[in-house]
Each structure stands twice: as C-alpha cells, then as structure tokens.
C-alpha cells in the first residue's frame, strides 16, 4: 500500500501533516463533533476541511475541499441541484 505508513497508534495516510489555520464552526450530534476548519499543507496549498471527532474528542477522519468550490459542495450535501 503505497503512501500509507504504520505507526504505533494506527495508520497515517500520506506523507505530510496539515496545519490548522482557523476554525469556521462546529456541530455536535449524537456525542460526535463535526468541525469545519481551514487547513494548509506543507507545500502551502489551502483547503476547507470537515473533520469528525468521536465522543471522547479523538480525531476520526476528514474531508478536504478546495475553498473555491465549498459552496457548491455545500449545495450537494444539502441535496440541491447544481444545474
């Protein structure tokens, strides 16, 4: 599996960590927290991320999207047509 590295606590996907620039907001649902944050890669590329944390506050997974299309992705998630 190329690009996946085994660590003591599990798997880390990719070679580079993301730096959190700011938090846009958060929602708590069924003891889980969804946070929307702006992140930056080590190469300077910026993304908007939706991050999921479990009830203990442990980071589970994230979805990255380019900020330029965030409103379009939001409409997709809301179930509206993009036509």
Domain boundaries, the chain: 16-78
Assigned fold of 16-78: Transcriptional Co-activator pc4; Chain A (2.30.31)
Please report the pLDDT score of residue 79 as a whole number. 86
Question: Token match 């939001």: residue?
Answer: 74
Q: Is 18 within 8 Å of 6 (Cβ atoms)?
A: no
Separation between Cα atoms, residue 29 and residue 55, nearest integer Å: 10
Residue 51's closest CA among 76, 25, 30, 72?
25
* Mean pLDDT score of the chain: 85
- pTM higher than 0.85: no
- Among the residue ranges 2-6, 10-14, 59-63, 67-71, the one predicted with the least confidence is 10-14
């Amino acid at each position: 599996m190329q690009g996946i590295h085994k660590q003591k606590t599990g798997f880390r996907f990719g070679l580079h960590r993301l730096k959190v620039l700011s938090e846009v907001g958060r929602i708590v649902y069924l003891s889980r927290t969804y946070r929307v944050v702006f992140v930056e890669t080590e190469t300077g590329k910026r993304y908007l991320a939706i991050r999921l944390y479990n009830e203990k506050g442990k980071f589970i997974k994230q979805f990255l999207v380019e900020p330029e299309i965030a409103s379009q992705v939001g409409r997709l998630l809301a179930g509206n047509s993009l036509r």
